[in-house]
Amino acid sequence: RMAKGIYPTRKNTPYFFLQHCNELVMDRSKAEACEVFVTVIKPGKATPTHKHDDAEQVYFVLEGVGRIERGKPVKSRQKIRPGEIVHIPRHSWHKVACAGRKTLKYLVVDVFPNGRPKDEPTWHSHASVVSRWLGGSLKRKGRGFSLV
């Protein structure tokens, strides 16, 4: 059992989307204006191009090599490596791909400048909206959830 305010970064609830997995570390319901998860992308896979109007993001690359594309259409491409910090401003189109032979893992901190979204007060409610945007729904899979 973890002390209040301390969250492990292993054995978290996985949310499997089309080509990546977000492992929930700290739900947005536990804070006023942030949430934390680990994104896992296997070689040759990527997140969809997307943006966040309610949050800015900070990534800390843990393992693997990635490529971040910014803009729609793409205006820049940058390699990202372990130990690097990436900032994604609000309203900014972006996509992250695994660019190496090893799985890419990075810690994500979503920061909500206007406070936790009232229409999506938990990570699960947000993941459900994302699943519908991707054309599916979330179903229980082991200790986590999967897009079907």
Segment 96-122, tens digit of pLDDT: 999 999 999 999 999 999 999 999 999
Residue 2 confidence class, pLDDT cut points 50, 70, 90: low
In contact, 23 and 12? CB cutoff 8 Å: yes
Q: Tokens at residue 102, please?
A: 């090893």
Q: Which residues contact 68 (CB under 8 A, 6 or more apart)?
A: 77, 78, 80, 86, 94, 95, 96, 97
Mean pLDDT along residues 32-48? 97
Average pLDDT of every residue of the chain: 95
Residue 17 confidence class, pLDDT cut points 50, 70, 90: very high
62: exposed, middle or buried (Cβ count in 10 Å: 0-12, 13-18, 19+) = middle
pLDDT reported for residue 4: 84
Residue 29 confidence class, pLDDT cut points 50, 70, 90: very high
pLDDT reported for residue 10: 81
pLDDT at 32 over 60: yes
Q: Considering the chain, what percentage of its residues have pLDDT values greater than 90?
A: 91
Mean pLDDT along residues 78-82? 98
Assessment of whether the complete model's pTM goes beyond 0.75: yes
Which of 60, 65, 61 is closest to 42 using CA atoms?
65
In contact, 106 and 115? CB cutoff 8 Å: no
Segment 114-146, tens digit of pLDDT: 999 999 999 999 999 999 998 999 999 999 999
In contact, 102 and 124? CB cutoff 8 Å: no
pLDDT reported for residue 9: 84
